[in-house]
């Protein structure tokens, strides 16, 4: 059986407010724009995307667990869970899929509490502060890692 040609796109709490929440930080692109961008970047490399966004940690963890069945990797912007959720980190680690961590803003230029990421050590790709286009960058880099044409 061949490897799955699907990615899971995970967006954490408050990312459903993209386009209206703090546009000076996050821009005017919506979550639908993000999902379209990732789908287009993946499709250009022969992958499809299943997207999930939730403000509930358990929903995200269930989606990550389900990805073991039919996904080759995970692109994730955990939102505020980046800095607080050990269980989200453990779910990502536990499924054994390559992970790309994305943040729209440069979290290292923001409040001190945003500087720590529980996801950092389980992700093979990190795209921080490139705005919404960073999702496409993360998707492309993750597919290169999956294909073996780049190291994670």
Cα distance between residue 8 and residue 25, in whole Å = 25
Q: Is 77 annotated as a binding residue?
A: yes
Looking at 26, 65, 108, 116, which residue is catalytic? 26
141 a known binding residue? no
Is 83 a known ligand-binding residue? Answer: yes
Q: Are 24 and 91 in contact (CB under 8 A)?
A: no
Inter-residue contact 4 to 70 (CB < 8 Å): yes
Report whether 90 belongs to an annotated binding site. Answer: yes
The catalytic residue among 103, 115, 126, 135 is 103
> Is 105 labelled a binding residue?
yes
Residues pairing with 50 in the sheet = 8
User: How far is the CA of 103 from the CAs of 5, 46, 70, 75, 110, in angstroms?
Assistant: 24, 24, 25, 11, 12
d(CA 97, CA 33): 25
Is 11 annotated as contributing to ligand binding?
no
- Gap between the Cα atoms of 78 and 150, Å rounded: 24
Rounded Cα gap, residues 128 and 90, in angstroms: 21
Is 103 among the residues known to form the active site? yes
Q: Which residues are annotated as a binding site for substrate?
A: 77, 83, 90, 104-105, 114
What are the residue numbers of the active site?
Answer: 26, 103
Annotated binding site: 77, 83, 90, 104-105, 114
């Amino acid at each position: 059986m061949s490897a799955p040609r699907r990615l899971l796109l995970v967006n954490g709490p408050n990312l459903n407010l993209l386009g209206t929440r703090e546009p000076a930080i996050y821009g005017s692109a919506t979550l639908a724009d993000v999902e379209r961008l990732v789908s287009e970047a993946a499709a250009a490399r022969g992958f499809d995307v299943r997207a999930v966004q939730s403000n509930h940690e358990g929903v995200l963890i269930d989606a990550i667990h389900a990805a073991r069945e039919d996904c080759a990797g995970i692109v994730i912007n955990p939102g505020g869970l980046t800095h607080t959720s050990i269980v989200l980190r453990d779910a990502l680690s536990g499924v054994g899929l390559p992970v790309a961590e994305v943040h729209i803003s440069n979290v290292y230029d923001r409040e001190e509490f945003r500087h720590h990421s529980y996801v950092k050590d389980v992700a093979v790709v990190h795209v921080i502060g490139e705005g919404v286009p960073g999702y496409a960058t993360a998707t492309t880099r993750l597919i290169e890692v999956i294909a073996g044409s780049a190291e994670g």
